[in-house]
Amino acid sequence: MKGTKDNHQMIQGIALDLITEAGGAEKLAAMTPEDLKPIRIHLSKRLKEKSGCHINTAKRNIKKAIEGTTDNWGGIREGGGKPARTSA
């Protein structure tokens, strides 16, 4: 099941649950990096234990859950693609 979309969604769901238990993403995002670091480490270890994922995967998913970047997948990016044609 490694590397599948279902596995990713399961890990992200657990990460969001852990963030909610810790007070919510808004509260954590407002903290200073120095105050947030031990909380992120603790949450990453809990995510690793609950999901069985690698610690680096857990850290990445906790960070995404705190920053709220999970809803910004895909779509058009500014500056992406070919430049617009101009008629001369």
Q: What is the structure's pLDDT at 17?
A: 93
51 and 37 in contact (C-beta within 8 Å)? Answer: no
Give the number of C-alpha atoms closer than 13 A to the C-alpha of residue 13, restricted to the C-beta side.
7
List of the chain residues with pLDDT < 70: 1-2, 69-84, 88
- Burial status of residue 62 (CB atoms within 10 A of its CB: 0-12, 13-18, 19 or more): buried
